Amino acid sequence: MARECPVCSSAAAFFCRAPDRHYGNAGEWEVCRCGGCGHLFQWPLPDESDLARYYPEDYYAHQTPSTDLTPRGLRRRGVWLTMHYLKGRRGYNHLPVGSNRLLAFIAGRFFRKAGDLGTPSYVPGGRFLDFGCGSGDVVAFARFVGWKAEGIEISAAAVAAGRRAGLDLTHGSVEALEAVPGRYDYVFSSHCVEHIPDAARVFRAFHRALKPGGCLAVEVPNGDASALERFGAYYYYLGMPVHVHVFTPRSISILAESAGLESIDVVTHSRWVTQAESALLWIGGGGRRFHAHGRLSGVLGRVVAIPSTAASWRNGKGDCLVLNCRKPGRAGGEGRGRPCC
């Protein structure tokens, strides 16, 4: 049977067979790579309902999230510094911190995420959605800094934990996103979309859920990463069977453009610790699963991963992609203000 890319419909070829090195599910899964956009995907793609059996009971953080994020003394210094960055660089003039350029610079240098992921420019009265929110840590932070923040999450246990903390969370997946047209100024999704077989449907739902002029920020694994070139089938984000897609800058841009989104921008970033996990298995020093090793082996993995991590920083081919884009049109009504991208 011909293998066709689910993103661009080009012919795809066999790339590798990948076992579950994260959770230890028995078996191996075929991974294909598109000859057109480079997209990596599990073949055949499963139904979303079939994936539930592969997630361990502790996959999600079911603990009740902290909603009291106010810095006190030396506690939550990261939050305090981030507030300076938001006030100084992202328009959060209402935050109760001083206007300190040095602190805003330090926070931007050490606490800012790639592509300002999760820290959009402020829209007074704006609505913020975290799609795939877990128990709601990001929702809690967005609410703390002034957004009308909500979340959508497929895990009922995680939703229950967030609701106990007073957060506005909805239990569901793509269908819940499709049910709220034109509601959000900013939609955020971190390491969720790669778990959903019908990626094109997700992006159409993102477009539908945004207000005109609203912004979307998505973080996913990168199928064009230096670490993938280096470690092949041991690449950390070949997380089959729960990661059914590994996007490339080209494939995720195609999805966004096909859904009607514009101002598409993609950046990458890397984490040394995940490359270290790949390196350790690659040299045969870490058994068969990630994180199943002692401290000394972990240090060895970090040493072996130095070249690939440095290369990814240098050439812009990091382990993860951050996509920023927007829905055409001009924001109006509730949440009216400058674009939040």
Phi, then psi, of 324 in degrees rounded to 5:
-120, 135
Sequence-distant (≥ 6) Cβ neighbours of residue 111 within 8 angstroms? 78, 81, 82, 85
pLDDT confidence of residue 65: 87
Give mean pLDDT, residues 267-291: 89
Tokens of 14: 């066999």
Bridge partners of 246, per DSSP, are 40
Separation CA 315–CA 282 (nearest Å): 22
Give mean pLDDT, residues 327-333: 77
pLDDT confidence of residue 51: 80
pLDDT confidence of residue 285: 66
pLDDT confidence of residue 136: 95
What is the CB-side half-sphere exposure of residue 201 using CA atoms within 13 A? 11
pLDDT confidence of residue 253: 98
pLDDT confidence of residue 340: 72
Give mean pLDDT, residues 115-124: 94
What is the CB-side half-sphere exposure of residue 196 using CA atoms within 13 A? 22
Give mean pLDDT, residues 18-25: 90
pLDDT confidence of residue 67: 86
Question: Residue 293 belongs to what H/E stretch?
Answer: none
Separation CA 121–CA 60 (nearest Å): 29
Residue 234 pLDDT level (bands cut at 50, 70, 90): very high
Tokens of 228: 């993938």
Residue 49 pLDDT level (bands cut at 50, 70, 90): confident
Domain boundaries, the chain: 12-45+113-326, 70-112
Residue 61 pLDDT level (bands cut at 50, 70, 90): low
Give mean pLDDT, residues 216-243: 95
Q: What is the pLDDT of residues 135-188, one digit of tens each?
A: 999 999 999 999 999 999 998 989 999 999 999 999 999 999 999 999 999 999
Tokens of 265: 């921008």
Q: What is the pLDDT of residues 63-73, one digit of tens each?
A: 788 888 988 87
When the pLDDT of each residue in the chain is averaged and rounded to a whole number, the result is: 92
Q: What is the CATH number of domain 12-45+113-326?
A: 3.40.50.150
Q: Is the pTM of this model over 0.95?
A: no
Residue 339 pLDDT level (bands cut at 50, 70, 90): low
Give mean pLDDT, residues 82-100: 95
Helix, strand or coil, per DSSP, at residue 52: helix
pLDDT at 132 over 60: yes
Separation CA 213–CA 198 (nearest Å): 25
Report percent pLDDT > 70 for the chain. 94
